[in-house]
Amino acid sequence: MATVYRKNDRWYVGYTDGTGHRRLVRTDARTKAEARAYGDELERKATRQRLGLEELPTDTTMTLAELCEWWLKNRCPPDREYNERKRLQRHVLDSPLGKLPLRHVKPADIEDQFRRMAATGLKPTTINGLRGTLHTVYSRARKAGVWTGPNLVKDVESRKVPRKVHATLRAEEVPLVLPHVPDEWRTLFATALYTGMRKGELFGLRNRDVDLATGTLTIARSYDKETTKGGHADIIPIAKPLVPYLRAAMAASPGELLFPDALGRMRSPEADPQKVLRHALARAGLVEGYEHVCRRCKAQGKPHTERHPDTASRTCPACGMKLWPRALPRPMRFHDLRHYADLRVMPRWRSAGTSSRAVGVIEVFRDAA
């Protein structure tokens, strides 16, 4: 008979599985009655397995690596397959964990793999990413009947990710940076700053998504996909400083795309605004300092460099030649420009449907200065 008890605000169920071993499962039950009903169902399933009416989890001959390969080929979304295969290849398919038969894999084995990853310096976000992938692999396999055992990843805790303060531009720095952004990128950079859109959302933005009459902008796609990364569309307000940039982009656009490349086509995911940002920051003087390099010593294979806060003329102490300064831009990613919009625009949404960021009505909007 299944036993039920509560610990740390979670209900646990103990039962005897189909092989006769005692198991303990953490449930999502909200009440004791729900937990007991779940335990009774586990007992009934175990009884059917012992009577040969249902397959035992231990009957499979697959390894964890083979299960991951099944998921990659049959259930993984095509646009994610490359990245997910790289992730699994490194941490599961080519590891001792992947060679374990599914019937022998325990939560402790997965936990040990995560600890090894942490010991090599991998960040909690990387470990949590692998945990999420493995959870999906088990879940899809259970639904397809490929694996009839429990989802072991549920018993492996996720890592705590420290809250990070993102480097971004201050309000007074935006007018300093934008003039140094090349013409073909300037309107896109301004839109990124004042809307908080991702790169793919910017590249996929259409002219019809901009409504200057009502002062709103629709975010409904990423690149050529008819959905965003979050899987939902948003209508956001257009800040007043952004209006002239959008007008210029719409006037210059040769087709339906608002920010096409030089040939009028959609920019590819490989297009790198990061380099553009670094150059603009350097020209605007938003730097951490300057690296002064002796070109003669560098050519002779004995490079001499010095770091200083200015570009004042200096000479090499080794050969007496002039040192050439090179700006060291403030460390910042193009993605970090989204956080400027979070700080300056700050829309508040009235929820529509099940998503707090679903298409809604803006209650309050404070224009950027």
Residue 270 has pLDDT above 50, yes or no: yes
- Separation of alpha carbons 338 and 169, rounded Å: 10
Q: Could you give the angle at the alpha carbon of 220 between the alpha carbons of 219 and 222, nearest 5°?
A: 95
Second-level CATH architecture of 171-269+335-364 = Orthogonal Bundle (1.10)
| Mean pLDDT, residues 37-61 taken together | 74
User: pLDDT tier at 355 (50, 70, 90 boundaries)?
Assistant: very low
| Mean pLDDT, residues 174-202 taken together | 93
pLDDT tens digits, 284-325:
999 999 999 999 999 999 999 999 999 999 999 999 999 999
Q: What backbone phi and psi angles, to 5 degrees, belong to 363?
A: -90, -45
Q: What backbone phi and psi angles, to 5 degrees, belong to 204?
A: -90, 0
User: pLDDT tier at 56 (50, 70, 90 boundaries)?
Assistant: low
- Separation of alpha carbons 185 and 203, rounded Å: 11
Q: Which of 17-26, 156-165, 289-298 has the lowest mean pLDDT?
A: 17-26
Enumerate the β-bridge partners of residue 22.
Answer: 16
Residue 350 has pLDDT above 70, yes or no: no
Q: What percent of the chain has pLDDT over 70?
A: 89
| Mean pLDDT, residues 240-265 taken together | 94
pLDDT tens digits, 91-105:
999 999 999 999 889
Asked if the domains at 87-155 and 171-269+335-364 fall in one CATH topology, the answer is no
Residue 58, pLDDT score: 52
Q: Where are the domains of the chain?
A: 3-54, 87-155, 171-269+335-364, 287-329
User: Of residues 339 and 160, which shows the higher confidence score?
Assistant: 160
- What would the two tokens of residue 34 be? 């729900």
Residue 363, pLDDT score: 32
| Mean pLDDT, residues 337-364 taken together | 44
User: Of residues 343 and 363, which shows the higher confidence score?
Assistant: 343
pLDDT tens digits, 63-81:
999 999 999 999 999 888 9
Kindly list the strands in the beta sheet with 10-16, ordered across the sheet, starting from the edge strand earlier in the chain: 3-7, 10-16, 22-26
Residue 148, pLDDT score: 79
CATH of domain 87-155: 1.10.150.130
